[in-house]
Structure 1
Amino acid sequence: MTKYFLASLILMLGVGLGFWAARHQGLQQNPDATAVSERKLLYYRHPMNPKVTSPTPAKDDMGMDYLPVYAEDQSPPEAQPQQGKILYYRHPMGAADTSPVPKKDEMGMDYLPVYESELANAGQIQISPEKIQKLGVSTETLAKRTLTRSISALGSIQIDERHIHAVTPKFEGWVQRLYVNATGQAVKRGQPLLEVYSPELMTAQQEYLIARQGQQALRQGSAQARGTAKQLTDNALQRLHYWDIAPAQLQRLQSQEKPVDTLPLLSPVNGVVLEKPALEGMRFMPGELLFRIADLSTVWLLAEVFEQDIAEVRLGQAVQVHINAYPDQLFSGKVGFIYPTLATETRTVKVRVELPNAEGLLKPGLYGSVTLAALEDKDEQLAVPDSAVIDSGTRQVVLVQRGEGRFEPHVVKLGRQADGYREVLAGLDAGDQVVTRANFLIDAESNLKSALDGFDSHDAETGQVTHETQHGDQ
């Protein structure tokens, strides 16, 4: 019996010694196993973005587990290099809570210090050099320049009202014959338009011939008689002049000393016939319209200029006109008149442009676009390219390059637009490197809104004036 008891005791001691040896050897091979079980878990962080954390285990959008963060992984405060003056302390889990003095959160974690150097980089956008090259980012140095502005408007060709002439007889008569019998027909100055018969005209011719014969008969008479006869002759001739009888017809009357049954009415100008009420055989009264003729050697273009641009328009200002009918030609003119009223329906003001039309290409009714000659400011203004401005509708932003791969959004206040540039009233300084190409791609690649919000949040926490206010933004 004693023999079996001793054997069992020896066996149990051997098993115990073997288990102890195996455990001791395992601890030597993995000395961190015990330490892992004793490490203090702080929180869990996003596997791809360390700034995103969670107090409990979680998964990201791709199903990857958040990684645990232990207290031992955090560098002690004394081991971190100092980065200037501590401005405040922020919540360790990223909550919107700060403190001017060190403190702990509800889980006993220390608030993290925020240094001046960290705040200096707040609101900047970080883009890798490879990504910058892929996006095709280009920049331009901001400088002062002479702003040149051109105003564009639409309009149509109209007849110059000052060059419209009406052919109206000053006596009663009948149209015997029409030489110009179609509307739109071109006529020359002095060209016969029609022949008329008028009893009044016949009487006037006879009175002239009688007065002239009396003057000749009194050549040997007294001076008073000769003077009276001459005055009667001149008055009769002047009456024919007043009735628009052509000089050639008067010379014919004087040479033949015989009244002419019909006399022609001549065109007063070179132009085209706009209206032709005259008909062959019709009777006309004094002052009745027979022809309306327009001289088209000079025409008007009535342009509709928007009210925000009308202050830049001046009388005599040079104008370039593109006519839709002649896309390869450019016409030049000048501003002749600015109408005193505004069309409330379109919020535009009519501007009259005078255009020479020696070749007759500019026909009334043609449409065209007007470019008023550029206006230049006497003083140079700080200006930013139009392509550099990101307009959100509520504010305008320009990306400024601060270093290799670092961009900083600036809220700007802009003035007039001219020649592809915008006047900078506030928000930028001369010498700034502004992004002129791929700025919208940078916006898409980074979180520009967060960067802009970073300005406001950091400035609010430190009590500093925001960058926007420093530059006078509204």
Structure 2
Amino acid sequence: MMLKQNKNKIIIALIFILILIIAFYGSKIPIVNKIPIFTKKHEHTYKPVLDEQGDVKYWTCTMHPSLKLKEPGKCPICSMDLVPVKRRGSEKKSTMAKKVEKSDMNQSEGMQGMSGMQGMHGMSGMGSGSKSMGSDSESTFIVSTQRQQMIGVKTQTVSIKSMTKKIRTVGMVELDETKIEYIHTKFSGWIDKVFVDYTFQHVKKGDPLFSIYSPDIVSTQEEYLLALKSKNILGESEFPEIAQGAKSLAESTKRRLKLWDISEDQIRELEITGKVKKSLIIHSPITGYVTFKNAFENMYVEPNTRIYTIADYTTAWVNADIYESDISLVKKGQEAIITVESLPNEIFSGKVTFIWPHLMTKTRTTKARLEFPNPDLKLLPGMYADVELMIPLGEMLTVPKSAVLRTGKQDIVFVDKGEGNMEMRRVELGYEAGDSYEVRRGLKEGEKVVTRANFLIDSESKIQAVVATWGEASDDSGKATSETESHKETQAIKLPQSGQADEPGNSKQSE
């Protein structure tokens, strides 16, 4: 009897404990069911936050575009100010409609729809006011007028103007080859006396250089004197043939003296004096400097012996290097100026007189010969010269150099279309002259291009494009992850519902 009573007490105690357990867990189940699906396990996933107007997608850092935060503030990585990524107008309407419906399913679809948005990003301190433009052209974007003033944007109008290209190159001063004299004799002999006996000695035209003894010259002088006597005696002959023969002999002998470079004055002196000179004096044919000397007393010389070289320095040549790309621009008669290191403040003016018809393969250059007057002998052979050639190009459509971003593969300008609209445009450039480029394609006369702060504008447009692309990829990835985790969470939360015991409709079944 006692055993039966103890058994009943144990059963009653177990039932009481079971009721307490059911009551405890039954009170917890409704609380779990009331938790929103995307709150418990999706705190780490990205959910776009809207401002009062519903136009802010999220906040990000221009240096770390993968960072996406709900609230404005500082970047946790680099401490730069966060900038907002805004929606376009069509997405604002869609988002506001979905917000009114307050449906979990619509919220999930709203996250998917944000993948096509484009946002505004700028450099540190640029803030809002610049956003991607909803245009058919991917190269068009918006930078507000206020933002342009903050970053110092300046523009200039594309115009047609006369261009003169300035080619800068180097050259070397050389002698005028047309004013160099080489002193030889046309007969053999021995030098008796040297009058100009050192190199670079200055001589004037007609100055004696050296005297030479030649047996051929002596015998020819004697023949000429005899021919003159015969001419004087037989010139009055009754026989014309004899008179003409004497005259021809004298003329042929005189012509032979001239062929040996005996001057007319020397021949006249021989005719007057009637005396044969043993030594003949050779005179300088020009005024200049002796650049080569090979004359010594008692030295035997022949017609192929170069005895002196005399150069006129009053005209100087400069052979300037012309690069292959500029050869077609350089023409005979164009003006040129040079400066030399010894006279840095003095400018010498000359002209192009000749262009080499040959390209040097190692340097890919040719030579242009420039001619300069040099009366004061300030330009000396061997000097290096800085050369500037002025090339007139005519009337051309031009754009300032400061407006062009040269990337190597392409040249880009930013066209100001007004009211904050900017367009990135590729252009084809031609000649470069001063502070301008010739524009062959891509711009029209009267268009305005950005000439200052265009690097910031370029960064603005590129960051917009990159962040928009990253945003699309992140939204697609976030949507897929959200759907997967949402499905798992729903299954996990609904599992306890199948075993609920304290719900009004299920209490009897539990019992």
Q: Which residue of 2 aligns with 1:413?
A: 428
Change (3 A) 1:325 1:63: closer
Aligned match of 1:450 in 456, 459, 463?
463
Q: Which residue of 2 aligns with 1:321?
A: 338
Instruction: Summarize the alignment of residues 197-346 of structure 1 with structure 2, pairs less than 5 Å apart.
Output: 197-222=213-238, 223-346=240-363
Aligned match of 1:142 in 155, 158, 169?
158
Change (3 A) 1:127 1:220: same
Residue 287 of structure 1 aligns with an amino acid whose one-letter code is: N
Name the structure where helix makes up a greater proportion of residues.
Answer: 2
Does the 8 Å contact 1:409/1:451 carry over to 2? no
Change (3 A) 1:189 1:117: closer
Q: Which residue of 2 aligns with 1:111?
A: 113
Aligned match of 1:194 in 210, 213, 236?
210
Q: Which has the higher contact order (CA 8 A, sep 6+)?
A: 2
TM norm structure 1: 0.71
Residue 462 of structure 2 aligns with an amino acid whose one-letter code is: K
Change (3 A) 1:330 1:47: closer
Residue 188 of structure 2 aligns with an amino acid whose one-letter code is: E
Residue 372 of structure 1 aligns with an amino acid whose one-letter code is: L
Looking at structure 1, the residues matched to 226 and 136 of structure 2 have their Cα atoms a distance apart, in angstroms, of 110
Q: Which residue of 1 aligns with 2:400?
A: 385
- Offset at residue 389 of structure 1 (A): 1.1
Q: Which residue of 1 aligns with 2:413?
A: 398
Deviations along 1:433-463, whole A, 9 cap, x unmatched?
22223433555xx534235669999xxxxxx
Looking at structure 2, the residues matched to 215 and 64 of structure 1 have their Cα atoms a distance apart, in angstroms, of 115
Secondary structure of residue in 1 paired with 2:358: strand
Unaligned runs of at least 5 residues, structure 1: 1-36, 68-74, 82-102, 458-474
2:447 is equivalent to residue 432 of structure 1: yes
Name the structure where strand makes up a greater proportion of residues.
Answer: 1
Does the 8 Å contact 1:409/1:452 carry over to 2? no
Looking at structure 2, the residues matched to 427 and 180 of structure 1 have their Cα atoms a distance apart, in angstroms, of 70
Residue 305 of structure 2 aligns with an amino acid whose one-letter code is: E
Instruction: Summarize the alignment of residues 54-93 of structure 1 with structure 2, pairs less than 5 Å apart.
Output: 60-61=76-77, 77=93
Change (3 A) 1:258 1:419: same
120-129 or 159-168, larger mean C-alpha shift: 120-129
- Offset at residue 156 of structure 1 (A): 0.6
Deviations along 1:51-79, whole A, 9 cap, x unmatched?
963599x9733689999xxxxxxx98379
Residue 188 of structure 1 aligns with an amino acid whose one-letter code is: K
Does the 8 Å contact 1:246/1:265 carry over to 2? no
Looking at structure 2, the residues matched to 451 and 79 of structure 1 have their Cα atoms a distance apart, in angstroms, of 22
- Offset at residue 233 of structure 1 (A): 1.4
Does the 8 Å contact 2:60/2:69 carry over to 1? no
Does the 8 Å contact 2:133/2:142 carry over to 1? no
Residue 183 of structure 1 aligns with an amino acid whose one-letter code is: T
Deviations along 1:181-229, whole A, 9 cap, x unmatched?
1111222222111111122211111111111122222244233322221
Change (3 A) 1:66 1:358: closer
Does the 8 Å contact 1:301/1:354 carry over to 2? yes
Instruction: Summarize the alignment of residues 362-381 of structure 1 with structure 2, pairs less than 5 Å apart.
Output: 362-377=379-394, 380-381=395-396
- Offset at residue 298 of structure 1 (A): 2.6
Max Rg structure: 2
Looking at structure 1, the residues matched to 464 and 441 of structure 2 have their Cα atoms a distance apart, in angstroms, of 19
Looking at structure 2, the residues matched to 452 and 296 of structure 1 have their Cα atoms a distance apart, in angstroms, of 66
- Offset at residue 105 of structure 1 (A): 8.2
Looking at structure 2, the residues matched to 206 and 301 of structure 1 have their Cα atoms a distance apart, in angstroms, of 50
- Offset at residue 310 of structure 1 (A): 0.5
Looking at structure 2, the residues matched to 452 and 410 of structure 1 have their Cα atoms a distance apart, in angstroms, of 15
Looking at structure 2, the residues matched to 140 and 415 of structure 1 have their Cα atoms a distance apart, in angstroms, of 19
Deviations along 1:144-179, whole A, 9 cap, x unmatched?
223322322211112222322211111111111111
Looking at structure 2, the residues matched to 456 and 237 of structure 1 have their Cα atoms a distance apart, in angstroms, of 100
Looking at structure 1, the residues matched to 449 and 325 of structure 2 have their Cα atoms a distance apart, in angstroms, of 28
Change (3 A) 1:80 1:280: farther
Looking at structure 2, the residues matched to 170 and 64 of structure 1 have their Cα atoms a distance apart, in angstroms, of 92
Q: Which residue of 2 aligns with 1:21?
A: none
Instruction: Summarize the alignment of residues 15-54 of structure 1 with structure 2, pairs less than 5 Å apart.
Output: 42-43=47-48, 45-46=58-59, 53=68
Aligned match of 1:423 in 428, 434, 438?
438
Identity %: 34
Residue 185 of structure 1 aligns with an amino acid whose one-letter code is: Q
Secondary structure of residue in 2 paired with 1:308: helix
2:179 is equivalent to residue 163 of structure 1: yes
Unaligned runs of at least 5 residues, structure 2: 1-34, 40-46, 50-57, 84-90, 98-104, 119-131, 471-511
Looking at structure 2, the residues matched to 108 and 405 of structure 1 have their Cα atoms a distance apart, in angstroms, of 30
Secondary structure of residue in 2 paired with 1:289: coil
Secondary structure of residue in 2 paired with 1:146: strand
